[in-house]
Structure 1
Amino acid sequence: MLFHLLYRVLSDDIGFLRVFRYTSTRILAAAITALLLSFIIGPWFIEKLKSRQIGETIRTDGPATHKKKAGTPTMGGSLILFCLTISTLLWCDLSNEYVWLALSVTVAFGAIGFADDYAKVAKKNKAGISGKLRLFLEFAIAGAAMAYLFHSELMPETIRLSVQLPFTNFYTQALVMPAWMYTIFGAFVVVGTANAVNLTDGLDGLAIGPSIMNAGTFLILAYIAGTETTIINATGKSVTIAEYLNVAHIDGTAELAIFCAALFGAGVGFLWYNTYPAQVFMGDVGALALGGSIGMLAVLTKNELVLLIVGGLFVFEALSVIIQTTSFKITKRMTGTGKRVFRMAPIHHHYELKGWEEPKIIVRFWLISLVLALIALGTLKLR
């Protein structure tokens, strides 16, 4: 909206407004807008949650230290969604279909999380809506997004059916899938990421910290994939930055960098209230929205497998649950007594029960996520 007004309408009359044609300017504006909105609205929003008694219900089988968190306002992810959406609508080029795809999936996954949170608050327990219904809705949304991506022909077929393997040349070594297989694969990337982030959201600031780092990483990846800026390669030829780095060049995806900036700003603003000891929890409305957006960004920028690196902490958390559940079921079937690999899953609870203080777990997991983000960016050059 502001992009259209400031650049396309007023820039002819007010010359300095032409600065808003630059993606870099709008990246900065989107991040600052989302951050300021969080700071301005956050205190009022948290008070509203308190007054309506929208508080967290603590699982009975969880660590004993969590009992003091009962009643802490939840569904704070609605604040992230609001700030992200407003900033995106203000600063992105709204004729860009990639932006609408990413934003639509984010809001839709947030809506599923909102319904789940509301059911938990209404019932005063951790059940929420049924797991099968939630998964069905998630796959329906992700599948619809994949179908639109293919039928709208946003990307050339050679790009949209290809998956880049880390440390390889996209143009000569990409894995090419049939359309039906990539549709399933892409949907699993989005749904898997959404639920992995949701599993990670068990300690104050634990999920939002790595999500911010993911947003920053995909900001860079989206800009590289979409920018028309050229450089001279070793042969003296002028090529785009993406072609120079042997990653997919996708017209239009640079606009996703602005979406990522808004996500980054909204995340930092929320962390202000969610850091230990948390004033508010994001709830499923935040975790599913964040995960859905990160998964969709990976698909749209052709970084589906790089996501395993940059989002490695989320993968680790999800794997700990899978390993724990599988181990218990197999050993119970074989011996009659189920055995667990970890003291509790997801893995952050394992360290809690080992005696680690919550802030120590959070900061160490943030550091792991930061290192993984740097490694993911390092793959751009190691090809």
Structure 2
Amino acid sequence: MLILLAQWLEQFVDPGFNVFSYLTMRAIMSTLTALLIAILMGPRVIRYLQTMQIGQTVRDDGPKSHLSKSGTPTMGGVLILAAILISTLLWADLSNKYVWVTIGIIVSYGIIGFVDDYRKVIRKDSKGLIARWKFFWQSTVAIVVAFYLYATSQDPNETAMIIPFFKEVMPQLGLFFVVVVYFVVVGTSNAVNLTDGLDGLAIVPTILVAGAFAIFAYVTGNVNFSAYLNIPHLPLTSELAVVCTAIVGAGLGFLWFNTYPAQVFMGDVGSLSLGGALGILAVLVRQELVLVIMGGVFVMEALSVILQVGSFKLRGQRIFRMAPIHHHYELKGWPEPRVIVRFWIISIILVLIGLATLKLR
């Protein structure tokens, strides 16, 4: 939106306003805008949630240290979404279809999460949105987006699978592209949701992965960098850097209030939408496999639940003391901050490995 204003000011007022048309400047401004919105609106949102008694409910069978979290305001994800959307609408090129696809996923999954939170917190329905209906709506949105991207693709690279660390291995997916999009978006959304169990545990890996995808989007959309790095050149992806940096800024602003001991939790409205956003960003920049690497913490959390449930159903035994795996370490006696920071460190290492795939090919 502000691109048009910058272009008008450049033409009629001062050529210096052209600086706000540059992608790098808009990405920086997107980060700062989202950050300021989250930090400035955070206290008001928290007070409103407290006034409305929208507090977190804690499982009785969970770690006893979590009992003190009961009543902490939740659904703070609306703050993250607002900051992301406002910043993106201000600084991104709104003629870019990839921007709207990402916004569509964020809003759609945010609505699904909001309904789930509303039923659990406001209507006091402990089950929230029934799991099969949550999965149904997540699947419906993902499939619609997948078919849209497949139907509107004009470059074979848009549906090719990039294999990390290999230069020439880029198999064409064809219609299987739809299946890949479905599993990446839905799987990442639920993985981030499972990770969101400790103060700041989910938001920092999200910030790190989104920041890395900003780099991927920038180099993929730049003809010179993409040629140098021997990755497919997809011009539309460069604008996603603005969306990624908006996620980074909103996440940092939310972390200001979500760090241990948390003043607010994001709830499903935040975790489902952020997970969906990371999933669709990975698809659009053609780095689904790199997402598995950089989002290794999310993968680990999701796998721990799958293994725990599978083992209990098949053998009647549990592998972990409790799943997701961050609760396992809590029950082993690790203080919550230790679990959180160590998972953050793992995320930093995995994101650096993911970024290394750009050069090590």
The TM tier, using the shorter chain, reads: over 0.9
TM (normalized to structure 2)?
Answer: 0.98
Q: CA offsets per residue over residues 105-163 of structure 1, 9 Å max, x none?
A: 1111111000000010134254111111011100111111111112223x41x212211
2:236 to 247, 252, 259: 252
CA distance in 1: counterparts of 2:306 and 2:216, whole angstroms: 30
TM (normalized to structure 1)?
Answer: 0.92
CA distance in 2: counterparts of 1:308 and 1:379, whole angstroms: 12
1:173 is paired with a residue of what secondary structure?
coil
Q: Aligned residue for 1:330? A: 314
- CA RMSD between the two structures: 0.9
1:174 is paired with a residue of what secondary structure?
coil
What is the identity percentage for the equivalent residue pairs of Structure 1 and Structure 2?
52
Q: CA offsets per residue over residues 231-283 of structure 1, 9 Å max, x none?
A: xxxxxxxxx21122121210121100011011100000000000000000000
Judge conservation of contact 1:58–1:126 (CA < 8 Å) in 2. Answer: no
Q: Aligned residue for 1:68? A: 68
CA distance in 2: counterparts of 1:161 and 1:97, whole angstroms: 16
CA distance in 2: counterparts of 1:126 and 1:316, whole angstroms: 26
Judge conservation of contact 1:59–1:126 (CA < 8 Å) in 2. Answer: no
Q: Aligned residue for 1:351? A: 329
- The CA deviation at 1:39 is 1.2
Judge conservation of contact 1:57–1:125 (CA < 8 Å) in 2. Answer: no
1:376 to 335, 344, 354: 354
Q: CA offsets per residue over residues 60-80 of structure 1, 9 Å max, x none?
A: 221111111000000000000
Q: Aligned residue for 1:168? A: 166
2:340 to 335, 340, 362: 362
Q: Aligned residue for 1:268? A: 252
Worse-matched range after superposition: 219-228 or 353-362: 219-228
1:176 is paired with a residue of what secondary structure?
coil
Q: 1:1-383 counterparts in 2 under 5 A? A: 1-7=1-7, 9-13=8-12, 14-153=14-153, 155-156=154-155, 158-169=156-167, 172-179=168-175, 181-228=176-223, 240-331=224-315, 338-383=316-361
CA distance in 2: counterparts of 1:119 and 1:251, whole angstroms: 42
Worse-matched range after superposition: 358-367 or 11-20: 11-20
- The CA deviation at 1:321 is 0.4
Closer, same or farther: CA 126–364 of 1 in aligned 2, 3 Å: farther
Q: Aligned residue for 1:232? A: none
Judge conservation of contact 1:76–1:281 (CA < 8 Å) in 2. Answer: yes
Q: CA offsets per residue over residues 300-344 of structure 1, 9 Å max, x none?
A: 00001111101111000000001111111110xxxxxx1111000
Judge conservation of contact 1:57–1:124 (CA < 8 Å) in 2. Answer: no
Amino acid at match of 2:10: S
Q: How many residues align?
A: 360
- Structure 1 segments of 4 or more deviating over 4 A? none
Question: Who wins on radius of gyration, i.e. which is larger?
Answer: 1
- In structure 1, the gaps of 5 or more residues are 229-239, 332-337
